[in-house]
Amino acid sequence: MNFYYIHLMPRDNLSYCFIDDYPSEVGIKSYKIGKGLMLGADYPAASRVYMTERYTGIQLSDLIENACGMLIVSKRIKETFEQVNNGPTEYLPLTICNHKKRVASTDYFIINPLGTIDCLNLKASTITYHDEKIVQVQRPVLAPEKLKNVPHLFRIQEHTYSFLMSELMLERLGTLTPPPTNFYFEQLDQAPAQPGNTRSAS
């Protein structure tokens, strides 16, 4: 099965809004959103984010671009994820406000796949290391032998802000009418691990 990387900042249509910050209501627990950790009761249902002042775009799209590595999607995308996804995931309700601090929509969600998946061929991927630890994954390449039982939506272990979806998820999104807006993805290469590829990811 093929898997696809979801682009959180495609910047293809500048008329769409952009978010710069986590919901202030979450406070210091915001780091959990980027790490795939459960928020549970630490996430207030009235959480909201604001369109950034540095971009003038105000239109709402199915995927909301942001600088925080959050997967923010419309209600219909969230419902599609729920129908197909088979992994532990939080669907956190989110209100989006415009530049004037007025409510633009209450029908958005932060999608928080819990945990991460060891799915990369570390030798085939383009990775920056520091003191034997991974600091950046520039070009992820998947290891097919690690993909047998992965969820249809998940985070890469070596970079928790990278979200992957399965071919089945992509097909289901393709049935939506009208098609999802501002939703860009990229099929990732796969390469079987070679003997001796034992470099640690930790």
Q: Residue 30 is encoded by which pair of tokens? A: 């915001």
Q: Is residue 20 part of a domain?
A: yes
Q: Which long-range contacts (CB under 8 A, 24 or more apart) does 128-131 make?
A: none
Which residues constitute the domain of residue 44? 3-188
Q: Is residue 103 part of a domain?
A: yes
Tally of structural domains, the chain: 1
Q: Is residue 36 part of a domain?
A: yes
Distance, CA of 33 to CA of 191 (rounded, Å):
30
Q: Is residue 55 part of a domain?
A: yes
Q: Is residue 69 part of a domain?
A: yes
Q: Residue 157 is encoded by which pair of tokens? A: 């272990």
Q: Is residue 196 part of a domain?
A: no
Distance, CA of 111 to CA of 33 (rounded, Å):
9
Q: Is residue 47 part of a domain?
A: yes
Instruction: Note the pTM of the prediction, 2 decimals.
Output: 0.92
Give the amino acid at 61.
S
- Cβ contact 52:20 at 8 Å: yes
Query: pLDDT tens per residue, the chain (202 residues)?
Result: 999 999 999 999 999 999 999 999 999 999 999 999 999 999 999 999 999 999 999 999 999 999 999 999 999 999 999 999 999 999 999 999 999 999 999 999 999 999 999 999 999 999 898 888 888 899 999 999 999 999 999 999 999 999 999 999 999 999 999 999 999 999 999 999 775 544 433 3
